[in-house]
Amino acid sequence: MRLVSLILGIFAVGTCLAQQPVPKAGAPAKPADDSQIYRNTTFGFRYRIPYGWVDRTKDLQKKDENKDESSTPASKGDIGQGQVLLAVFERPPQAAGDTVNSAVVIASESASSYEGLKKAEDYLDQLDEITTAKGFKPDGDPQEVTIDSRSLVEADFLKPLNEKLTMYQSTLIMLEKSQIVTFTFIAGSKDEIDDLVEGLSFQAATSKSPAKPH
């Protein structure tokens, strides 16, 4: 499974529009526990899922089962040739509305799937080529960003859907354990993108201190 294909696959979901808007209810109270946090110990990150969002991770994983019958649930942190780690949407993909269906999709794929890929920046050409072919255009130059001391490459795109609505997409890329990991955020404004990115955090590298002599 190519990550670029996965990322483009969620664009159609994000642009699901109709004449009648889906009414937005008042913000529900957040749960007291941390059940809304997705943790990935393999790559050392976690993501706080916006409360009330719809989880479609298993649905996207099933689409790739015919390519890798031995794949296991990504939530366990296993590394495969290509897999969806997390796929959540603001509303069910089948529920049309008059706004962009915001989404967060996190995926990984073996860097060996791409010839000559040695660092995260090398993935930008693949991402740019296929994304722009779908009507998106770059929104500024790619740049390096740092989240919790972890460096990632960021590429931003946008696509006007009509006179009043524009779809924004930001993809963060990192190379970890010979895997390309992408964090793709889709929303109807840059501010919404920033809010979604704030849910991503990385665990600090820890090392056990040597036992003190008695």
CATH code of 3-17+35-202, in short, is: 3.40.1000.10
Inform me whether the pLDDT recorded for 114 exceeds 50: yes
CA 160 to mean position of chain CA atoms: 21
Q: And the tokens for 191?
A: 């501010």
What's the pTM?
0.79
The C-alpha angle 4, 196, 175, rounded to 5 degrees, equals: 45
Q: pLDDT at position 81, please?
A: 58
Lowest mean pLDDT among 2-11, 29-38, 179-188: 2-11
Domain ranges of the chain: 3-17+35-202
CA 165 to mean position of chain CA atoms: 22
Higher pLDDT: 169 or 214? It is 169
Q: pLDDT at position 92, please?
A: 86
